[in-house]
Amino acid sequence: MSTAFEIAKRISFQKQKNYTRFIVRLSIAATAISVAAILLTFSIVNGFQATIANKVYQFWGHIRVASVSGEPLEQDANTIAAFQKHPAVKTITPFVSQSTVLSFEQDIEGVVARGIPTSTQIPFLRKGKGWTNTGKDSMLNEIIISDNIAKKLNVQLGATVRLYFLNTGAVQQRKLKVVGIYHSGIEEYDNQFVLVDIKLLQQLNNNELVEGYSIVLNENAPIEATSAELQKIIPENWVATSITNYYPQIFDWIGVQTINRNVTITIMLIVAIINLLTCLFIIMLERITMIGTLTALGASQNFIRKIFLFQASFICWTGILLGAMIGLGLSYLQAKTGWIQMDESAYFIKELPIKMDAVQIISVLIGTAIISYISFLLPTLWIKKISPAKAIQFD
């Protein structure tokens, strides 16, 4: 073990109470808080962005294929088969949307009926089992509504509601049984959409056309790149568009969180660096007599610099590891218990989401250490300006 290391260890962790011991502990605590705050910021922002984006993707898919003019599309089996061959594509769901009025007892509500195949997994289903399998046309008489609409109209699971459609100047009525209640947490969807069998809307329109296709991609598949690739294999009057372009207000809001994250992390890094610099300056100032004595005994500036760099390393790494334990511990606790609640009407989520990324965690720990070591070099440059004779007399 080097002499510089042993000296640094003794002055850093000496048991007697003195000013240096207090400064070291304060710096460790400040570094730990900064690292913990950075890790928590990453985990929270990652979880928030992923959770909100996934809610939109579950409802609409990652990519929507529709006609350029907005006219209905014929179901092209060859094009659908080409979609399914793409390695990034997981599922393809045709859909039809139509404005309607939902009535229950004396109450009515304007909604949008979204027709999807009954084989499609129902997103955010909270109550009920969804479509039944009894009878060939049973799904044509079934509906899934949102929790918000159910509460607004006091509709219970199993109740019968009426939908009124205006087609070619005539009002058409359908009685439907509520077989499921969903809750996405996004009020724009929950207050507007009900789900019905796509065949019901096609039957009302006397055709088998669809409004478009919702395409769900495999996990981690690039949305924009896949959208561009699908565009090359679809008919000329069709267009493949990522869902982020359909709902820019939501995804722009998600993107703003990245800016907030970066600002918070930058501030915490600056606080940690200033804290460590101040700590090292104070320690060096308190040890100025020791510096003068070692210089008088023939110690080189590099040897003395190593002492304080070792001491700074003790402070830095103790703070980093302690901060990692706190940050990751709190993140894990929130992920498992969800004890921090949020206003779902404002943030679309009820519990504060957490998503920890191993690469980010390692980058924070190593990056903080590298930045700290670079910063540590600045105070040690002051050593060469210390005169041994004056330093020994310094009080």
Written as six digits, the tokens of 278 are 């101040």
Residue 362 gets which letter from DSSP?
Answer: H
pLDDT at 61: 92
Cα–Cα separations (whole angstroms), residue 63 to 208, 224, 295: 22, 9, 70
Please provide residue 81's backbone torsions phi and psi, each rounded to the nearest 5 degrees. -65, -35
Q: What is the DSSP string of 175-232?
A: EEEEEEEE--S-HHHHTTEEEEEHHHHHHHHTS--BSEEEEEEPTT--HHHHHHHHHT
Residue 241 gets which letter from DSSP?
Answer: E
- Cβ distance 238 to 83 under 8 Å? no
Written as six digits, the tokens of 316 are 């830095």
Written as six digits, the tokens of 315 are 């402070």
Q: Answer whether residue 16 shows pLDDT above 90.
A: no
C-alpha 325/C-alpha 212 separation (Å) is 49
- Cβ distance 142 to 131 under 8 Å? yes
Q: Answer whether residue 379 shows pLDDT above 70.
A: no
pLDDT tier for residue 386 given thresholds of 50, 70 and 90: low
* Interval 314-337 mean pLDDT: 91
CB-based burial, 197-206: b 16+ in 10 Å, e otherwise? bbbbbbbbbe
Q: Which of 3 and 107 is assigned the larger pLDDT?
A: 107
Q: How far is CA 201 from the centre of its chain?
A: 36
* Interval 41-66 mean pLDDT: 92
Long-range pairs of 164-172 with CB within 8 A, sequence gap ≥ 24:
164/100, 164/101, 164/103, 165/98, 165/100, 165/113, 165/204, 166/99, 167/204, 167/205, 172/204
C-alpha 197/C-alpha 340 separation (Å) is 38
Count of other CB atoms within 10 angstroms of residue 116: 22
pLDDT tier for residue 98 given thresholds of 50, 70 and 90: very high
Structure confidence by residue, pLDDT tens digits, 210-263:
999 999 999 888 999 999 999 888 888 889 999 988 888 888 888 888 898 899
Q: What percent of the chain lies above the pLDDT cut of 90?
A: 40
Q: What pTM did the predictor assign?
A: 0.81
pLDDT at 392: 55
pLDDT at 372: 81
pLDDT at 19: 65
